[in-house]
Amino acid sequence: MIRTGFATREGTAADNADAAKVYVLFDGTVGAAVIDGIGHGPHTSRTAPLLAETAARVTAHRGALAGILSAGLLVADEGHDGEEANAVAVAVLVDDAGARAAWVGDCDVLGWDGVRLRRYSTPQVMGEWVRQYGPPVEIAAHYDDWVRVSLHSATVATTGEVDIPDEVVLLLLLSDGAHDQVPADVMEDLTREYHHDPQALANAIVAAARSDENGYRDDATAVVISRTA
């Protein structure tokens, strides 16, 4: 049985640039996507729901990679005014055969196996690349906001993909306003408390997002997918 929950919370900047969609086929196959618009403004907030709808529907029919690439085609050109929206994204396909995720940028997919919460995506940010060379943590963290791949530049080669193990009974799709501004131990505690209720967990995650030392809080979005026998 597959159950889902979704929640989003606008940050301290004007206009929520996040969006999410869960699409279910007749046979119960689920395609889900979270979109995190780059920057803020009316154009980005209007485009993000279209990208989420496209990614989720195509994911349900053709898989998570196809969902990401199809959404990317919608914003691959800068447009006549050079102001076409751009975003990062994560998509997940869940069906009887299992689950598979695809992503670009710093949206995350986490999995709960009943014991612990684990990250299955690798953020495509410069900070993650810098960490490979062993500099001080604070130096690498300085580059975490530098996204290396977005929907605008997504290709088969640059889109991350991962198969989710069968023992994972709960999937969390998160924008960076959720996974960056909710401490990892808090995220795990919330998952342990609300794992039986996907909607309650999604609500709890976005409510737990806190402002940084400068008072900034990003838009926070969570899609929770529960798959149980």
Domain region containing 53: 2-227
Phi/psi at 125 (nearest 5 deg)? -125, 160
CATH code assigned at 10 = 3.60.40.10
pLDDT in tens, 180-199: 899 999 999 999 999 999 99
Distance between CA atoms of 56 and 135, rounded to whole angstroms? 38
Per-residue pLDDT of 30-75, as tens digits, reads: 999 999 999 887 889 999 999 999 999 999 999 999 999 999 999 9
Q: What is the pLDDT of residue 33?
A: 98
* pLDDT bucket at 143, cuts 50 / 70 / 90: low
pLDDT greater than 70 at residue 135: no
Is residue 229's pLDDT more than 90? no
CA gap 61, 51 in Å, rounded: 16
CB contact set of 24 (below 8 Å; sequence gap of 6+): 2, 30, 31, 60
| Between residues 145 and 156, the one the model is more confident about | 156
pLDDT for position 217: 93
CB atoms within 10 A of CB 162: 17
Which of 147, 148, 157 is closest to 180 using CA atoms?
147
- What percent of the chain is modeled with pLDDT above 70? 91
> Given this model, what pLDDT does residue 93 score?
98
Instruction: Quick: pLDDT tens for 77-134.
Output: 888 887 889 999 999 999 988 999 999 999 999 999 999 999 999 888 766 666 676 7
Q: In whole numbers, what is the pLDDT of the chain averaged over residues?
A: 91
Residue 20 has pLDDT above 80, yes or no: yes
Sign of the CA dihedral with 17 first, then 22, 23, and 29 last: positive
Task: Please check the confidence at residue 139 and state whether its pLDDT lies above 70.
Answer: no
Q: What's the total number of domains in the chain?
A: 1
Confidence of residue 228 (pLDDT cuts 50, 70, 90): confident
What pLDDT does residue 42 have? Answer: 80
pTM of the model: 0.91
